[in-house]
Amino acid sequence: MRVHHLNCTCTCPLGGRLMDGRTRCVLCRGELACHCLLVETDANGLVLVDTGFGLRDVKSPRSRLSAFFRAMVKPALSEYMTAAHHVSRLGFQIEDVRHIVLTHLDFDHAGGLDDFPGATVHLMEKEWITASGRRSWLDAQRFRPAQWSAPESWRRYGGAGGVGWKGFDGVWPIDGLGDEVALVPLPGHTLGHAGVAVREQAGWKLLAGDAYFFHGEMDLREPYCTPGLRFYQWMMEQDRRSRLENQSRLRDLKRASGTAVQVFCSHDMVELQAHQQGVDRRHR
């Protein structure tokens, strides 16, 4: 099995260095990734983990994305950065993507769903309940039904059951994929938020979604986050206690597993580039 690390459109929030820790000034816009995975399975086609922004977001952002978030994070919408373009660039057909596994339904993670009409979508049941309810003003800005194609056919997971995985309970292997891909509940950012674990020959990769935003938060000695991203996480969280507890659990996982489990989030450019470079070195 081979895993491709994709950047499916950058977001460029105000605050520069206060957000990404890298931009030269605080008056500039920062640069955050939309880190998605494309998994080549041995027998079950392609699996896309999160979608970033999609082709319709690029063509018609006003009808798909809220004015609030378009102004706040100013996504660099480009057809060439969509998951659909990445799939084609890698030599595959859209139809080869048979499964899409979502960490959650925020607008910058689910925008490409309708670019893959033949794929089965997998997510946590609680995420669907929360997102479809859109009970607050902020929920209405972040969860965008215009991006959701045929949600009645989605495969939803939760309730009693699940399995244990690396100290986490209630983990759900994805139907049709054996034990290669699983949803790992990591609530906090949203109530149904989950990480997605992907098994490789050398170990596991865990895309932790928005369980954290900055690579310094996974430092085992002195966890650190930039002021701008601390504020953004506070603004977006639906359960603060669970979010912070799950960040601590992810650090524990990193400490206990070493290189056997690679943990990374959705928006940190440093992590994305490190994984992309690692894949390039392995396949030269």
Contact 107, 147 (CB under 8 A): yes
Query: DSSP state, 11?
Result: B
Give the SS3 label for residue 248. Answer: helix
Residue appearing with tokens 């400490």: 255
Q: Which domain CATH number covers 274?
A: 3.60.15.10
CA dist., res. 68 & res. 11, Å (int): 13
Q: What's the structural domain count of the chain? A: 1
Domain that holds residue 112: 2-282
CA dist., res. 171 & res. 168, Å (int): 7
CA nearest to 186, candidates 105, 234, 249: 249
Structure tokens at 204: 């596991």
Digit-by-digit pLDDT tens for the chain (284 residues) are 899 999 998 999 989 999 999 998 888 899 999 999 999 998 889 999 999 999 999 999 999 999 999 999 999 999 999 999 999 999 999 999 999 999 999 999 999 999 999 999 999 999 999 999 999 999 999 999 999 989 999 999 998 889 999 999 999 999 999 889 999 999 999 999 999 999 998 899 999 999 999 999 999 999 999 999 999 999 999 999 999 999 999 999 999 999 899 999 999 999 999 999 876 555 44
pTM: predicted TM-score of the whole model, two decimal places: 0.95
Residues constituting the chain: 284
CA distances from 68 to 6, 31, 61, 133, 254 (A): 26, 18, 12, 19, 35
Handedness of CA 63, 67, 68, 69 (dihedral sign): positive
CA dist., res. 236 & res. 191, Å (int): 11
- Give the DSSP letter string of 25-54: -SSSB--B--EEEEEE-SSS-EEEE--BS-
